[in-house]
Chains A and B, each alone.
Chain A
Amino acid sequence: MIKITPTELNLVAQYIQAISGIYLDQSKTYLFETRLSSVAEAHGCANYQDLYNLAKRDLSKKIEKEIVDAITTNETLFFRDKGPFELLQHKILPEVIDARSGKSALKPRIKIWSAAASTGQELYSIAIVIKELLKDSNDYTFTLLGTDISDAAIAQASYGKYNRFEIERGLDKKNLQKYFTLLGDSWKIKDEIRAMVNFKKLNLMQPFSALGKFDIIFCRNVAIYFTLADRKTLFTKLAGSLNDDGYLIIGSTESLTGVCPLFVPKRHLRSIFYQKK
């Protein structure tokens, strides 16, 4: 493994923050080394200064992408924390459907965004909740979007294939049998669920108002990697992307106190969600 010098540490940390918003504690030298050493080696770099220079010069951004893939933590699971998905099923979806129904001659469109989708488990869990709740009802049009900064994560999400370690986490036998098919040693999401969702690459540090407004936004366990200043900017932008009666869900150990005064926390059963003031 290539060792990192203090100067390189500073340089690389700043570079990573600039391309992804991810703020890395510079005392955690091993974190840089374990994650970036193989990227450096793969490109024949003897040290991290070389890797940095190469990445800056690379107009195709291939190396930048590889660095992002290496540095992001894609840790996720199906139905993570359970609460938000119960909330979705018993409160949020019924309320949104109610609010959007009968307002116009057109079929109501409901837009949901998983803003740090990682390898897709969060968005597929949402899709399964919708499928279970509405069966094959054709009365609403759902747009389910998953975005992430990591190309590798988005590629796996799009493909919808999970190994047994990933599949065992959070999925019960019933949903596994119903919505996945065994493919060799892995499981693949069935087309009926796959067809409900879309994935694309997006850096939350960049503008995203072009995505339009959403009824429900899941932005969980990503802001924890950003500085307070970047969190403030992010949640202010998210408020702009949420319909006035929309719902925001953040990670179970995250808080918006002191981060974004535009949202008020509300409670239903044992879970919390946010709405605009």
Chain B
Amino acid sequence: MKNLSILVVDDDPVLRHLLRKRLKIAGYSVESAEDGYVARDLIHKQSFDVVLTDLMMPGDIGGLEVLELAKEKDSSIEVVLITAHSSVDTAVQAMKKGAADYLEKPVNFDELFLRLDKIANIQTMYRSAVDLRLALSRTEGEAGQTIQMLELLCGKLQQSLDEIETTLEKDGATSEERVASALAIIRET
């Protein structure tokens, strides 16, 4: 079992079934949608790592809209577009909007698996970066608390030392009196 969940969106039943089957055999967990509307509902209901969508689909929700919906739901979802050679320009536009990659029809499965492996690697790295950052911010938080407590304590002690100095240097008091007030300050601290 590979650890990526994939949503396949394609209105062409033959390609959709083929993609679904090949990805399942390769060990991915796969859902599929026959158009943009079904895809929209699935994206809202479930969480996916990757959305693999046809660029041109009938209706108001085409590949670009699926891309936007997925990114809106969770910007870490990677979207790979499947396009006819004639719409490569649109695919490039889509890359600018945040698509991870595009594949030209007819789909070459070796190429597809290669891209998916890359995405899986990036997502693993991303997750470990997030983990590291969480760990770091915990450590930083703990250290910060300790350092700030010591900082305040040092400040307070310095203040007492200053007071003791003034007390000991005070004119017009006997040495006993000075020592007594100095001791009083120390006991208060």
Point out residues on A near B: beta carbons under 8 Å. Answer: 81, 164-165, 168-169, 184-185, 252-257, 264-265, 267, 271-272
Contact = CB atoms under 8 A, between A and B. Distances in A.
A185 B144 CA distance: 35
23 contacts: A81-B140, A81-B141, A165-B126, A169-B133, A184-B96, A184-B97, A184-B98, A185-B96, A185-B97, A252-B140, A252-B141, A253-B144, A253-B147, A254-B147, A255-B150, A256-B151, A257-B151, A257-B155, A265-B154, A265-B155, A271-B148, A272-B151, A272-B152
Given A164-B75, A253-B143, A265 B151 contact: yes
B76 interface: yes
Contacts of A255: 147, 150-151
A267 B152 contact: yes
Contacts of B96: 184-185
Interface in B88-132: 96-98, 126, 129
Contacts of A256: 151
Q: From DSSP, what is the main secondary structure of chain A's interface residues?
A: loop
Nearest to B142: A253
Contacts of B71: 185
Contacts of B151: 255-257, 265, 272
A253 B143 CA distance: 6
- The residue in B71, B96, B140, B144 that gathers the most chain A C-beta atoms within 10 A of its C-beta is B144
Contacts of B126: 165
A267 B151 CA distance: 10
